[in-house]
Structure 1
Amino acid sequence: MSQTHQAAGTGRRTTRGREPGRATLVGIGSLLVVLTNAVIFILPPLLPVIQAQYGLATVAEVTWLYTVLTLGGGAGFILLPRLADLHGDRNANVAAAAFLTVGALVPAIGDSYPTLLVGCALMGFGGAAQVLPLGFLRRGLGESGITVAVAVLVIGTGVGIVAGMIGGGLIVQTLSLQSFFVVLTAIGAVTTVASYLLIPHLPPAERGGRIGVVGTVWMIAWVAAILLTLTQGLVWGNAALIPLVLGVVGGIAWFRVERRSSNAVFDVALMKAPLVTASCICITLFAAVNAAFLLLVSTYAQIIPAALRPVDAYGLGLSALDTGWLMLPFALTFVVGGAIADRPVNNGRVVPVFVSGALISAAGLAWLALAHDQQWHYLVGAAVIGLGCSIGYAAGFTLVQLAVPEEKAGMATGVAGTFLAVGFAFGTALVSADLSASLVPVPGTTLEVAAENLYGVGYWLAGALALAVVLTVLVSTNRSRRRTGGVVA
């Protein structure tokens, strides 16, 4: 099936006139992936600064930044890839970069908590640009497009995560919050112009199609309800069950309606292709592992042991910048993982790749569950977990792309991206709940931090998510065999 889709795409590509250079397309795609991931992960080191500068009384107010960022991202992952299919890659990428720019400009001008919330929502929507290169690289590079696009996505994600954490630390030490958003606005403006100039303006990949307004709004609503529960569930308590139930029920009803719709947002038949549903679930689980690991590391590393009572003392006492450097092995092994997964996935051996990525991630998490009180422990753990997660991401995004023809690359990207957003929100919520289970006071302040033993529990929980990948692909493979056996019989 993948060979048929790629050949069809290659033949259509020759009628579009002069194509931009390979290096140009890869360069702008890499910029988009690195920038959008850096924006997301630059926030953790800035949270104490934001809380102090805007006089926020509770941590719950600070977490709303992540909530609106995630909600904006959920909408962006649904709309922007589909916009690329129907109205052209350049238009979709320019729109995404423009949202990032305006999102940074709003708090740069307003310099207040309300404007920061608005800015985070806009930047979250534009952050869906991180997956758009999957579409225009596949369409622009012919048969090698999927391989290159997934490599750019996986490697750029790893680099962007670490660049964001290091950048956040540098900002805390050298710039004011408002100055940071001014700089980010300038970077976003350059990216917008580069997207317009460098991404080819080609005829829409899917002719005659249109975005189903009702189905799109409906999907954004139920995805947002689930993400809202995952990001604010601890603050709302039992009340969080209301949007969760609404989201689940709304999602089930949406799937039933979309299956019969002539203008579906996503091709529901895509999810019936072999291992596609399992791949999307695996993307969610790897994203949850990724988010859980990053939150556990950034929290533990910046706690100052001397600030706690001797009986409660733990932490590495690192600065935000030092914590970012501690994550460097994570980015380095992210580069390797995509290359390892490419050949076996394209040869149909996706199950062993998923299992390998999951077991490697689980091994790194088990290591940190047992040893996480020295800096070198994290250097080792970050390298192992980065390798496992990158293998898993590469397998998941590649398989979903192989399941659709070139003209629907954006639609497939949107499906995988939505599962990615849910995974990050779930991993963050899971670890937040774990670290809130038992708190110890910081003497002389009104602050409280998690009890030390909860970090080991958090790593074991993240390891269980990694092992759930193995269960997911084995169950999916077994069901496929039964279905095939039934058809043969």
Structure 2
Amino acid sequence: MTGIHPSVGLEATASTRPAPSKGLLIAIAALMITLTNAVIFVLPPLLPVIQSQYGLATVAETTWLYTALTLGGGAGFILLPRLADLYGDRNASVVSAAFLTLGALVPAIGDSYPTLLVGCILMGFGGAAQLLPLGFLRRNLGEDGITIGVAVLVIATGLGIVAGMIGGGFIVQTLSLRDFFIILTGVCAVTTVVAFIAIPHLPPAERAGRIGILGTVWMIGWVAAILLTLTQGLVWGNGALIPLVLGIVGGIAWVRAERRSSSAVFDVALMKSPLVTASCICIALFAAVNSAFLLLLSTYVQIIPELLRPHDAYGLGLSALQTGWLMVPFAVTFLIGGAAVDRPVSQGKGVPVFLVGALISTAGLAWLAIAHDHQWQYLVGAAVMGLGCSIGYAAGFTMVQLAVPEEKAGMAAGVAGTYMAVGFAFGTALVSAALSAQLVPVPSLGLEVAAKGLYGTGYWLAAVLSVLAAVTVLVSRARSRRRLVAA
């Protein structure tokens, strides 16, 4: 396949300035991860404002914002971590932060729905910045780099989710959309400059590698087709089967072609490493559980019961900002779980850690399926879900990193990140379909919302996904043992 070789001139020599401190590298990693996740999760509270300000006729039009973010993220997760391996961590980090800056700048200047869609695509692509710290922390912090990198990724992700939801609620109450994007442009621009200054300018980690143009475009295409189905399937109906079939067939053909390619996008042999495929599948399942939980919670608690007919009434009538504060326990336990399990996984206890994370998540979802009528029940459920999801993410990303040498850390992060993006889109699509099964009217607004009983169904469906994560690692371990006995 045609490939692009990294330019030796860009990275031929390391900078003569002293290497940055461990604390500085961790700080810029945490900033990049927190910012990218906050950008994603700031949107839900803003959707009613976006629909009103830009005169969107249907809620379906607002879902294209998520689709644009997801499609851009799918391309970024594939390409940017690989660029870090071949062209250097600093170059890839600056590029990703620059895309975030440009993505915020476009709607700040245009202040329209089309420019917001373009901005979401660009910000989605730049959102792959959250994966790059796995590479530059590992390459600069020695043997502790994997443990520290995954811990920072998981903890900062939790903080970014809550910061985005609280920030979105604050913006709804105090700022205009244009003011928000102007501020976001400034924050992203500062992050770009900090990344250029703080991240070491080292020679490429993988000197002899190259990016296969055809393989990269091909993979972005079939992944985008699947993500498009998952994000727009309810709107398109049976028509969504077309991109789904194209994505599946294209993915199968891509895997066959990559096995024979001398410039593969991802090392297909990596997926044959013990528990790597299972780890990636589990990352996707935990991402689906995470997105399902967030969608169910934010939808239910913001419904105003007084607006519904008495026999249909439910909801807590919370504002967007109050919903964000309800997620604080999620961030706290996300921090605890991410910090606690990295070393056990590094010591070969990945399967038990996965099982613990899956069981905790299942327990949290079962609790919410039964008890979701009061704020204190959500506080308890959010704390349990934060712990379970963080354990699952930490185990998955650590095991994938352990399977590759340092020079391919970016590629491994890209593989795991792609599975995470697909899982997140799948969880959102699954719950959206469940909540659309039965609708009840909101007479005063002329709208329809999901029937109350569907929320319990949604939580049980998410619990099934959590159980599947446990089943996946158990089956994988059993197969590995059989192969060892046969050998």
Residue 397 of structure 2: aligned partner: 397
Residue deviations 1:201-230, cap 9 Å, x none? 100000021110000000000000000000
Aligned to 2:271: 271
Residue equivalent to 2:420: 420
Aligned to 1:311, the other structure's residue is in SS state helix
How many angstroms does 1:16 deviate by? 9.0
- The one-letter code matched in structure 2 to 1:219 is M
Residue by residue, what CA displacement relative to the aligned partner does 1:44-82 show, whole Å, maximum 9, x if unpaired?
000000000000001110000000100000000000000
Question: Is the CA contact 2:15–2:202 (under 8 Å) kept in the aligned structure 1?
Answer: no
Distance in 2 separating the partners of 1:28 and 1:87: 19
Alpha-carbon distance in 2 for matches of 1:364, 1:237: 32
Matching residue of 1:359: 359
2:92 is the counterpart of 1:92: yes
Whether the 8 Å CA contact 1:16–1:202 is kept in 2: the answer is no
Name the aligned partner's letter for residue 338 of structure 2.
Answer: G
1:15 positional shift: 12
Could you say which residue in structure 1 is the equivalent of 2:46? 46
* 1:190 lines up with 2:190 in the alignment: yes
Letter in 2 for 1:186: G
Q: 2: CA distance between counterparts of 1:444 and 1:371?
A: 28
Shift of 1:486: 1.6
Distance in 1 (alpha carbons) for counterparts of 2:434 and 2:16: 53
Q: Letter of the 2:302 partner, please give it.
A: Q
Q: Provide the C-alpha distance between the structure 2 equivalents of 1:360 and 1:346, rounded to a whole number of angstroms.
A: 21
How far, CA to CA, are the matches of 2:15 and 2:213 in structure 1?
31
Could you report, residue by residue, the CA deviation over 1:19-59 in whole angstroms, capped at 9, with x for unpaired residues? 21001100000000000000000000000000000000011
Q: CA separation of 1:17/1:105 partners in 2, compared to 1, >3 Å: closer, same or farther?
A: closer
Superposition pairs of residues 155-166 of structure 1, within 5 angstroms: 155-166=155-166
Q: Is the 8 A contact 1:76 1:127 kept in 2?
A: yes
Q: How far 1:339 moved relative to its partner?
A: 2.2
Distance in structure 2 (CA, Å) of the matches to 1:16 and 1:234: 55
Q: CA RMSD in A?
A: 1.2
Classify 1:16/1:365 alpha carbon distance in 2 versus 1 (closer, same or farther; 3 Å): farther
Residue aligning to 1:238: 238
Superposed CA offset, 1:274-312 (max 9, x none): 000000000000000000000000000100000111111
* Matching residue's letter, 2:254: W
Paired residue type of 1:368: L
2:173 paired residue number: 173
Gaps of 5+ in 2: 1-13
Tell me if 1:133 matches 2:137: no
Q: Match of 2:453?
A: 453
1:411 aligns with 2:402: no
**How far does residue 485 in structure 1 lie from its aligned partner after superposition?**
1.6
CA shift for structure 1 position 17: 7.8
Partners of 2:16 and 2:194 in 1: CA distance: 21
What residue number does 2:102 align with? 102
1:9 maps to what in 2?
A: none
Distance 2:102 2:197 in 1: 19
- Runs of 4+ more than 6 Å apart: 14-17
2:160 aligned partner, one-letter code = G
Q: Secondary structure at the match of 1:441?
A: strand
Is contact 2:155-2:339 (8 Å) kept?
no
Q: Normalization by structure 2: what TM-score?
A: 0.96
Aligned partner letter, 2:260: R
Matched, 1:294 2:294: yes
Q: Deviations over 1:311-343 (max 9, x none)?
A: 110000000000000000000000110122112
1:34 is aligned to 2:34? yes
Counterpart CA distance in 1 for 2:327 and 2:385 is 11
Give the unaligned 5+ runs of structure 1.
1-13
Give the corresponding residue for 2:10.
none
Match of 1:3 in 2: none
Percent identity between the two aligned chains: 77
2:90·2:195 contact (CA, 8 Å) conserved in 1? yes
Letter of the structure 1 residue corresponding to residue 312 of structure 2: D
Distance 1:248 1:119 in 2: 28
TM-superposed CA distance for 1:18, in Å, is 3.6
Give, in whole Å, the separation in 1 of the partners of 2:17 and 2:348. Answer: 33
Report the more deviating stretch, 79-88 or 472-481: 472-481
2-structure distance, mates of 1:47, 1:232: 16
What is the alpha-carbon distance in structure 2 between the residues aligned to residue 16 and residue 152 of structure 1? 27
Aligned pairs for 1:455-474 (under 5 A) are 455-474=455-474
Q: State whether residues 155 and 335 of structure 1, in contact with CA within 8 Å, keep that contact through their aligned partners in structure 2.
A: yes
The residue identity in structure 1 corresponding to 2:210 is: R
Question: What is the one-letter code of the residue matched to 1:198?
Answer: A
Residue type at the aligned position of 1:265: V
- Counterpart code for 1:175: L
Structure 1 equivalent of residue 8 of structure 2: none
Q: Which residue of 1 aligns with 2:9?
A: none
Following the alignment from structure 2 to structure 1, what is the Cα–Cα distance between the partners of residues 186 and 314?
Answer: 40
Query: What is the 5 A alignment of 1:379-394?
Result: 379-394=379-394
Q: Distance in 1 between matches of 2:118 and 2:343?
A: 43
The equivalent of 1:216 in structure 2 is: 216
| CA offsets 1:262-284 (integer angstroms, 9 cap, x no match) | 11000000000000000000000
Q: Deviations over 1:334-355 (max 9, x none)?
A: 0110122112101101100000
C-alpha distance in 1 between matches for 2:70 and 2:259 = 27
Distance change >3 Å, CA 91–CA 387, structure 1 → 2:
same
Instruction: Give SS of 2:211's match.
Output: coil
Residues 75-110 of structure 1: CA deviation (Å, up to 9, x unaligned): 000000000000000000000000000000000000
